[in-house]
Amino acid sequence: MDTHQADSPDLSGRRVLICRPEPEASRLARQFEAAGASVRVFPLVAREPLPETPERRTTLLSLDEFSHVIAVSPYAAHLLLEELDTWWPQLPVGLNWYGVGSGTARALAEHGLEPRIPDYGWTSEALLSLPSLASFNGERILVARGEEGRELTRKTLEARGARVTVMPLYRRFCPDYPPAKINAMLNEFDPHAIIALSGETLNNLIALCANSSHNLYDRLIIVPARRIADQARAAGFNAPFIPGSLADNDIVAAVAEQLQGREGGSGKAK
């Protein structure tokens, strides 16, 4: 079925800068281009798997001792399942799987799992509102994530009586772009909208903006959660917006709606 119907977003003449990691950035770019936008992909977070350690191998081999497994991102889910394939041709039964957001849940489901996700939202706070994570009596929980990340999930679950094992599977870092590339993306391209779907992405953008002459603070910036919108405002961005969903088509629709509203109401989008 063709979902690109007559009422699909029209972003003709709009310029969109996508700062999320690959391959998600190029996938989202195709959606924006299909809506008529001019797009530049400028990942401000890159990821690479961490080498296997004896400690991690021991944890993976004891997977059947856990009651719950949480993946915080699609990348974490893919790396975890890839490693588990080596040690567990058939995954232990009775495990409860969780994805922080629909994209992570989709990565788990593609492996034949039935992950639980929040009824609303795609943050750690939303995940922690699930009744099955409300109270524990020493049950073990595995959290697959990056090398550095928010400690909210671990601390909250431990406070609720769980024994939590955090398994770092990858590291995130800001790519080292030459000044000419930064200037081309932030100044010459002059985007109407910027996509920054993590706090780390936003922080790296803020750092680049501080060392660059630009006029981006009044531009629409798409962020994933209220705390990151607050970060954006504190850094000087006037128009952070949280879409109703982080699905690619919903992000495109939100940008189209917001730019149309800004043009009609304030004339800021040029």
What is the per-residue pLDDT across 172-227, written as a single tens digit (0 to 9) for each?
Answer: 998 999 989 998 998 889 999 999 998 899 999 988 887 776 678 989 999 998 88
Q: Is the pLDDT of residue 91 over 80?
A: yes
- Its pTM stands at 0.80
pLDDT at position 118, please?
83
What is the mean pLDDT of the segment spanning 244-258? 91
Q: What pLDDT sits at residue 42?
A: 96
What is the pLDDT averaged over residues 43-51?
Answer: 94
Encode 248-268: b = buried (16+ Cβ within 10 Å), e = exposed.
bbebbbbbbebbeebeeeeee
pLDDT at 7 over 70: no
Strands 46-49, 163-173: pairing kind: antiparallel
Domain covering 48-172 in this structure, CATH number: 3.40.50.10090
Q: How far apart are CA 215 and CA 246, in angstroms?
A: 26
Q: SS3 for 19?
A: coil
DSSP-derived 3-state class of residue 112? coil
- What average pLDDT does the structure give for the chain? 88
**Separation of alpha carbons 26 and 124, rounded Å:** 25
Domain 15-45+175-265: give its CATH code: 3.40.50.10090
Q: Quick one: pLDDT at residue 258?
A: 93
50-79 average pLDDT score? 93
Say whether pLDDT at 267 is over 50.
no
For residue 97, the tally of other CB atoms under 10 A from its CB is 23
Q: What is the reported pLDDT for 263?
A: 63
CA distances from 67 to 46, 70, 80, 96, 162 (A): 31, 10, 16, 6, 10
Residue 257: pLDDT band (50, 70, 90) is very high
Q: Where exactly does CATH 3.40.50.10090 map onto the chain?
A: 15-45+175-265, 48-172
For 113-219, strand residue ranges (E) read 140-146, 163-173, 193-195
pLDDT reported for residue 5: 44
